[in-house]
Structure 1
Amino acid sequence: MPNANNAAIVEISQTANKFRSSIVLQFENKYIDVKSILGLFTTLLTTGTYNLHVHGPDAEDAKKAMTDVFAKHNMSVTVVND
């Protein structure tokens, strides 16, 4: 499968880095720190559904911002409330 475009990866990482919360993307058996642009480049695909785990002091704001940026780039993400 092709990788997501570079603009999407950069924007996802930049958005995540605005927050203090831990933001982890799960795809199949892989867990990616969304603040790590290298991790996103090696794992993020344009197709597939991702689970987003967000924990921390600004988690609610981070969840909203992350779902917005994924939607902007036509990528599917589900926020896991755990």
Structure 2
Amino acid sequence: MSNNTAIVEISQTAGRFSSSIVLQADHKYIDVKSILGLFTTLVGNQNYELHVHGTDAEEAKKALAEVFKKHGLNVTVVSE
């Protein structure tokens, strides 16, 4: 898996939505729309939590869950 490809695709997918999309990794929270934040946070076999809030949150959750899965990244979409 090329992490760069995953990062760009995750960021571009997130950018299509107006919702706030935050990735939690350990005790760090990063804006998924920030490519730089993803570069410093997204490393292989880690479990991530995705927090999505906003008017198009349901669509954003589905789209991002698919991208994470496609790239073999473990993510739990948190329903709040």
Q: How much has 1:65 moved relative to structure 2?
A: 0.2
**Percent identity of paired positions between Structure 1 and Structure 2:** 68
Distance 1:28 1:42 in 2: 13
Which 5+ residue runs of structure 2 have no aligned equivalent?
A: none
Counterparts of 2:8 and 2:70 in 1: how far apart (Å)? Answer: 13
Normalising by structure 2, what TM-score? 0.96
One-letter identity of the residue aligned with 1:45: V
RMSD: 0.8
For residues 11-68 of structure 1, give each alpha carbon's deviation from its aligned partner in whole angstroms, at most 9, with x where no partner exists. Answer: 0000000000000000110001000000000111111110000000000000000000
Q: Secondary structure at the match of 2:43?
A: coil
Q: Distance in 1 between matches of 2:40 and 2:76?
A: 20
* 2:17 is aligned with 1:49: no
TM-score by length of 1: 0.93
Give the alignment of 1:1-82 within 5 angstroms.
5-82=3-80
User: Where do 5+ consecutive residues of structure 1 fail to align?
Assistant: none
Q: How many residues align?
A: 79
